[in-house]
């Protein structure tokens, strides 16, 4: 994958596009660019119940407009994350816990989103590896919920990803 030639854009990393399964109501609402070389933190292999899931993305075309469906339909989607040095940037990288060379790590932790089966999907967010909580805030009211995100093999390449393994994340600035 490459970056557009916009004011000297530089490739930060390339990978595979991912997101929530098309049939799930919950999970994350925004596509993610997942690096080809994930880094792991604390995990439990295998799919567990109360989680959000990350699937690889595919092109879904039923006509030849705007792209040739015979060439692209059901093909896995690559991605690239680019940086323009003349503009400041903050970047969340899923499935990594270190920043690219030249970037500053603000924090790292675990990718979280709404449970895959819930009615309301939420944005994928990076939650610090040492999360905080509001003291005295324990009561099960089932409002917006944060669930760890597990990798799901298929369009998401396994290896290097592992079925059911919780995904890390890192927030970087430059």
Q: Which domain holds residue 166?
A: 10-173
Note the pLDDT of residue 145. 84
Note the pLDDT of residue 142. 74
* 139-159 confidence digits (pLDDT tens): 787 777 899 999 999 999 999
In a domain, 34, yes or no: yes
In a domain, 160, yes or no: yes
Partnered with residue 48 across adjacent β-strands are none
Average pLDDT rounded to a whole number, residues 69-76: 89
How many domains in the chain?
1
In a domain, 156, yes or no: yes
Confidence of residue 161 (pLDDT cuts 50, 70, 90): very high
Confidence of residue 173 (pLDDT cuts 50, 70, 90): very high
* 79-89 confidence digits (pLDDT tens): 999 998 888 89
In a domain, 1, yes or no: no
In a domain, 126, yes or no: yes
In a domain, 2, yes or no: no
Evaluate the omega torsion of the peptide bond into residue 42 and state whether it is cis, within 30 degrees of 0: no
Produce one character per residue of 135-161: b if its CB has 16 or more CB atoms within 10 Å, e if not.
eeeeeeeeeeeebbbbbbeebbbeeeb
Instruction: Say which residues have a Cβ less than 8 Å from residue 95's Cβ, sequence separation at least 6.
Output: 34, 35, 38, 39, 111, 151, 161, 167, 168, 169
Note the pLDDT of residue 99. 98
* 115-133 confidence digits (pLDDT tens): 999 888 899 999 999 998 8
Mean pLDDT, the chain, whole residue set? 92
Residue 34 pLDDT exceeds 90: yes
In a domain, 153, yes or no: yes
Give the residue with greater pLDDT, 151 vs 136.
151
And the tokens for 142?
């089932």
Q: SS3 letters for the chain?
A: CCCCCCCCCEEEEEEEEEECCCCCCCCECCCEEEECCCCCCCCCCCCCCCCEEEEECECCCCCCCCCCHHHHCCCECEEEEEECCCCCCEEEEECCCCCCCCCEEEEEEEEEECCCCCCCCECCEEEECCCCCCCCCCCCCCCCCCEEEEECCCCCCCCCCCCCCECEEEEEEC
Give the residue with greater pLDDT, 160 vs 120.
160
Residue 5 pLDDT exceeds 90: no
In a domain, 4, yes or no: no
């Amino acid at each position: 994958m490459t970056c557009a030639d916009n004011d000297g854009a530089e490739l930060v990393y390339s990978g595979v596009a991912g997101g929530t399964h098309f049939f799930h109501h919950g999970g994350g609402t925004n596509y993610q660019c997942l690096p080809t070389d994930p880094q792991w933190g604390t995990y439990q292999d295998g799919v567990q119940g109360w989680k959000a899931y990350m699937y690889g993305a595919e092109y879904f075309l039923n006509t030849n407009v705007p792209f040739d469906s015979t060439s692209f339909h059901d093909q896995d989607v690559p991605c690239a994350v680019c940086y323009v040095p003349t503009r400041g940037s903050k970047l969340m990288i899923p499935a990594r816990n270190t920043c690219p060379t030249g970037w500053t790590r603000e924090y790292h932790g675990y990718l979280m989103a709404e449970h895959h089966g819930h009615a309301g999907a939420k944005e994928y967010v990076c939650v610090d590896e040492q999360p905080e909580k509001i003291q005295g805030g324990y009561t099960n009211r089932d409002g917006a919920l944060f669930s760890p995100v597990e990798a799901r093999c298929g369009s998401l390449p396994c290896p290097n990803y592992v079925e059911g393994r919780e995904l890390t994340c890192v927030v970087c600035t430059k």
